[in-house]
Structure 1
Amino acid sequence: MAGAPPLPQPSGLQAWLLSPEPASRWQARLGRFYLGWRGFTKNPLAVLGLAIVVLLILVAIFAPLIAPYSPVAGGDLRTQRLLPPSETFWFGTDDQGRDIFSRVVYGSRITLWVVMLVAVIATPIGVLIGTVSGYLGGWVDTVLMRITDIFLAFPRLILALAFVAALGPGIENAIIAISITSWPPYARIARAETLTVRNSDFIAAVKLQGASTPRIIFGHVIPLCISSVIVRVTLDMAGIILTAAGLGFLGLGAQPPMPEWGAMVATGRNYLIDQWWVAAMPGLAIFVVSLGFNLLGDGLRDVLDPKAAK
């Protein structure tokens, strides 16, 4: 259009990141990250989800500095039992006179610990099974996928309950049970991604160079599955939190006096009519953190999904 002002050109660090001819692989990776971050920040709900997750991490790290009282030591049952929210006890107190705000703050550590361990345990298992199944095919694919179907046939919480009942109550056994029930979706995603690339030209070229099957799977196939798996893991965080809270609610997760949010809700259900804050505050924490992970997962899907419209 005649007379239109020229578009501003990037300068400085931005120009270096957006260079069409990067001088190194590191510069190219930083450029892709910068473009992804710009796309991510265009979604305000995704930024809100990221803020909630970052807040959860900060609260978990600095819990001793944030919490004004001990999360496990009870107060005076004559004067501090079941007090409503106030300036002294922001979230009120429970049936043992303990400050609910302090217990919610320390409970973020347990929640974050469960989420991290389940992701670290379940994700590699699912990705490995899915890529091996999709790349090798044949009877290996049939056997591994039928095992995956067996796990997918049961609701996650029900299957986790069965494993915890066999292993015994406790936060460690709950993490193991949730991990055992969480890997099948990752295997399905990794297999689907592998089926789309196993007959690609670059895989054939790597084979011609004499690369072994493990090298092809670990060096070329798995990296292509990572972005889709990361999105699914982030979206599954809310389900992991709810499953852990469900086990705690049933008394099979973290044991008293640990400040686990599900167990706190279970305690508060006895006082739900008159002392609603005992169950509502940890329940609200579960809701907010689960919402944050869902919003973050949606934003990452828009950025990392190679099939999404740009």
Structure 2
Amino acid sequence: MTVKLFDRSWWQNDNSESQTQAAWVHRYRLWVAFYGNRPAIFGLVLIGLVLLGAIFAPWLATHDPVAQNLGQRLLPPSTGNWLGTDELGRDVYSRLLYGGRVTLGMVLAVVVLVAPVGLLIGCAAGYYRGAADVVLMRVTDVFLAFPRLILALAFVAAIHPGMTSAVIAIALTTWPPYARLARAETMAIRDTDYIAAARMTGASSFRIIIHHVMPLCFSSLIVRVTLDMSSIVIFAASLGFLGMGAQPPMAEWGTMISSARRFILEQWWVPLIPGLAILTVSLAFNLVGDGLRDALDSRQN
């Protein structure tokens, strides 16, 4: 059945005629619940604007983000440099746009690495239980026992400071909560009739986990990932601030604050602007995560 985009009754039909219609009706109701949360929509708009700025940075930037001009160092915001210049005369606005590419790229890379791994480990532990559960959860507890920033710094220092090392370090310290969440969800549904019916058809445990258990954990995982994106942004900026993330002259928000921190009293705009960018993106992800959590709860109730 084709999706009837302009038939409102089709989207609101409680008696769906097919699985396709039922799936689209659920998505529509989720969107309606989410759209009713104005702070969440505001956060979504902010994220969209930041993403557009990062994607189209080469066309939106007014200067080369790494070009130095010592004759124009530490200039205040003006028509020539919309957000001023830093200690090396580089345009802060252009570096902010390119820094968004680096920071959001690191966030995306961490989520792509962490979410599937944490989901698979948690679902396997909750489904098999017994020795597998004990081993997997004790490994998870080991990672949870260390402070995240300290563990990430130790890992990056042991390898080599840089974006790749920072992404791997953040991923290593971020996956345990997802595994815990997936395990709890799996243990709640492991003995349901739905899973028992799948076993009776002869499906293997691996197939049940992949095709039946993991999809039921997606809702909670999406909410947790969205809420965690704000902490990943701050985490990535913290590593950059400490010199363990993106390396100069690459534009990255944490690195920008680090290089300009000595000018915080006189030329306040240089460290303040990337700090506001981190605050804005973190707040936006939190608002969207809260909206998703409320929408999913309202759909399930």
TM-score range, shorter chain: over 0.9
**Distance (Å, rounded) in 1 between the aligned partners of 2:272 and 2:56:** 23
User: Where does residue 190 of structure 1 map in the other structure?
Assistant: 182
Shift of 1:12: 5.2
Shift of 1:180: 0.9
Matches within 5 A, 1:131-170: 131-170=123-162
CA deviation map 1:15-47 (0-9, x unaligned): 011112223322221111111111111111000
1:25 pairs, out of 13, 19, 40, with: 19
**Distance (Å, rounded) in 2 between the aligned partners of 1:46 and 1:117:** 23
Q: Does 1:46 align with 2:40?
A: yes
User: Where does residue 287 of structure 1 map in the other structure?
Assistant: 279
Q: Does 1:171 align with 2:163?
A: yes
Residue ranges of structure 1 left out of the alignment (5+ in a row): 1-10
Q: How many residues align?
A: 297
User: Where does residue 16 of structure 1 map in the other structure?
Assistant: 10
Q: Does 1:113 align with 2:113?
A: no
2:255 pairs, out of 248, 263, 268, with: 263
Q: Does 1:241 align with 2:233?
A: yes
Shift of 1:65: 1.3
Q: Does 1:210 align with 2:182?
A: no
CA deviation map 1:238-265 (0-9, x unaligned): 1111111000001010000100000000
Q: Does 1:57 align with 2:26?
A: no
Residue ranges of structure 2 left out of the alignment (5+ in a row): none
Q: Which has the larger radius of gyration?
A: 1
Shift of 1:14: 1.3
**Distance (Å, rounded) in 1 between the aligned partners of 2:7 and 2:104:** 35
Given that 2:54 and 2:101 are in contact with CA atoms closer than 8 Å, whether structure 1 keeps it comes out as: yes
Q: Secondary structure at the match of 2:251?
A: coil
Q: Secondary structure at the match of 2:120?
A: helix
User: Where does residue 288 of structure 2 map in the other structure?
Assistant: 296
User: Where does residue 88 of structure 1 map in the other structure?
Assistant: 80
CA RMSD of superposed structures (Å): 1.4
**Distance (Å, rounded) in 2 between the aligned partners of 1:235 and 1:250:** 24
Given that 1:228 and 1:305 are in contact with CA atoms closer than 8 Å, whether structure 2 keeps it comes out as: no
**Distance (Å, rounded) in 2 between the aligned partners of 1:306 and 1:176:** 36
Paired letter, 1:115: V
Given that 1:71 and 1:102 are in contact with CA atoms closer than 8 Å, whether structure 2 keeps it comes out as: yes
**Distance (Å, rounded) in 2 between the aligned partners of 1:246 and 1:20:** 49
Q: Does 1:219 align with 2:214?
A: no
Paired letter, 2:8: Q
User: Where does residue 102 of structure 1 map in the other structure?
Assistant: 94
Given that 1:227 and 1:305 are in contact with CA atoms closer than 8 Å, whether structure 2 keeps it comes out as: no
**Distance (Å, rounded) in 1 between the aligned partners of 2:195 and 2:265:** 63
Q: Secondary structure at the match of 2:219?
A: helix
